[in-house]
Amino acid sequence: MTFALQLTPGANSGGVYNLEASFAGNQLTDGNDGGFAADNVVDFPSGSEVEFRDNNGNTITNTGVLAADEAYEFTAHVTLPTNTSPDDYDIRFRAYSPVTGVDDQKLDRISVERFVDIGISPPTNENTILAGGVTEYKHTLTNNGNIDLMAGDVEVSDSPNNFQAVLYYDANANGEIDTGEPVISNLSQLSSSGLASGLASGEQANLILRVTAPATANTGVTDTITIIVGNALQVTGGIDADDAIELNNVSSDLTTIVGKVLELLKEQAADNECNGPADGAFGIGQLEISPGQCINYRVTATNNGDQPVEQVVIIDKTPDFTKLESSEAGTEINATNAGVAIGSENLEAIDDGGAGALQAEIGTLAPGQDGVLNYTVRVDE
């Protein structure tokens, strides 16, 4: 906020005048206070600032040389921190001559009104899960106002598709629902700096919405759960107050049912000469293979979800009446993750010429990525 000020030196009082300000109405010296009385002793919030500017907008700390009776106009720009508590704050401006000791002061008052606003973020979330699956959405409540909030409803909408939704207060803010953390329906269940219950001005609270899909949900079904913070609130002293900004009181979480998140496809191709490269395209159709000939197998795991899938392992076994055959590179099996070769320490296979299980530890598959296991068998003669 800006205060327009004017200084006019009296007769024989020309010269340079330094400018300063004092909060809480305290006089800077015993000089003339212009008849004002400071009856408000509320301290200004930490971080309050005052800047003097001339009529050209330049920051100044003094008036420059003034002649006697010369009127000098300037402004004082006062900045208060966000969430400054509602109250009346007195501020005193002073101009004084360091040479003559001439001094004048002016007392002003800043009245900060109550501002009530709570918001929930982010406004939207979305995820995909399997039927019968569970997902969690993280949210943050923020008291954007300048007064503590003691109570107010926090509601969770009903699901149109019989999804189950429960909203928890993540009291220790670790991003997880821990034992003992409560299901929340009112701001009074929160705690913050200096408050046993409620949400202090400028403070935040973390929430987690856990959504469970019914096991009978069909692939492609979408379900939206909405969290609504009520507009009717209670502030310090149990006083009822309306939220000043209602647009940030709602957040919606969209859950979509998908089919298999991790899809497995096994394909085969003939390698009649057992020399490594397949003699045709890979596919799932039947092959005509003679004893002594080889079959190349390709097993692909694809992450169809929108979240990483960890600790992916592809496990297979040699078909009946076949034995594992070394590849052209001299290895029994090989594998890739997103096209990058998997190290031999993550591959397990029976010895060349044997029959049985084999596996590849693919690791983490990012959304849309593939892990592939390749191996060759020779048909028994």
Q: What is the pLDDT of residues 60-109, one digit of tens each?
A: 999 999 998 899 999 999 988 888 888 888 888 989 998 888 888 888 88
Cβ neighbours, 10 Å, residue 79: 11
Q: Spell out the SS3 assignment of 276-311.
A: CCCCCCCECCCCCCCCCCEEEEEEEEEECCCCCEEE
Cβ neighbours, 10 Å, residue 295: 22
Look at strands 49-53 and 59-60 and give their pairing: antiparallel
CA 302 to chain CA centroid, Å, is 29
Tell me the mean pLDDT in the region 294-301.
94
pTM of the model: 0.63
Specify whether the CB–CB gap between 107 and 92 falls below 8 A.
Answer: yes
The more confidently predicted of residues 263 and 326 is: 263
Tell me the chain's radius of gyration from C-alpha atoms: 37
Q: For 372, how many CA atoms within 13 A lie in the half-sphere containing its CB? A: 15
CA 192 to chain CA centroid, Å, is 19
Three-class DSSP category at 136: strand
pLDDT, tens digit, for every residue of 259-291?
A: 777 889 999 999 999 887 889 899 999 899 999
Determine the pLDDT at residue 338: 84
Closest CA relative to residue 56, chosen from 70, 72, 68: 72
Determine the pLDDT at residue 234: 94
Numbered ranges of CATH 2.60.40.740 in the chain: 262-379
Cα dist from 197 to 84, 152, 167, 205, 261, whole Å: 21, 12, 18, 12, 42
Most confidently modeled range among 80-84, 222-226, 355-359: 222-226
- Say yes or no to pLDDT of 302 above 70: yes
Residues in a beta bridge with 192: 195
Three-class DSSP category at 104: strand
| CATH 2.60.40.10 corresponds to the domain 118-257 | yes
Specify whether the CB–CB gap between 355 and 322 falls below 8 A.
Answer: yes
Q: pLDDT grade, residue 327 (50/70/90)? A: low
CATH number belonging to domain 2-112: 2.60.40
Tokens standing for residue 242: 């309306």
For residue 122, say if its preceding peptide bond is cis, omega within 30 degrees of 0: yes
Percent over 70 (pLDDT), the chain: 93
What is the architecture of the domain spanning 262-379? Sandwich (2.60)
The more confidently predicted of residues 204 and 354 is: 204
- What are the φ and ψ backbone dihedral angles of 139, each rounded to 5 degrees? -135, 160
Determine the pLDDT at residue 34: 39
Cβ neighbours, 10 Å, residue 315: 12
Determine the pLDDT at residue 43: 65
Only one residue has tokens 């406004």, namely: 123
Closest CA relative to residue 93, chosen from 17, 40, 42, 39: 17
Numbered ranges of CATH 2.60.40.10 in the chain: 118-257
* DSSP at 189: G
Closest CA relative to residue 162, chosen from 83, 217, 101, 242: 217
Tokens standing for residue 205: 């609270």
Residues in a beta bridge with 66: 15
- Say yes or no to pLDDT of 329 above 60: no
Determine the pLDDT at residue 361: 92
Determine the pLDDT at residue 138: 97
Q: Is 89 exposed, middle or buried (0-12, 13-18, 19+ CB in 10 A)?
A: buried
| CA angle in degrees (0–180, nearest 5) for 151-152-155 | 140
Specify whether the CB–CB gap between 88 and 121 falls below 8 A.
Answer: no
CA 283 to chain CA centroid, Å, is 44
Q: CA–CA separation, 175 vs 237, rounded Å?
A: 32
Look at strands 309-317 and 357-365 and give their pairing: antiparallel
The more confidently predicted of residues 11 and 279 is: 279
Determine the pLDDT at residue 27: 43
Helices H / strands E in the chain, number of each: 0, 26
pLDDT, tens digit, for every residue of 21-75?
A: 887 554 443 344 433 344 444 567 777 889 999 999 999 999 999 998 899 999 9
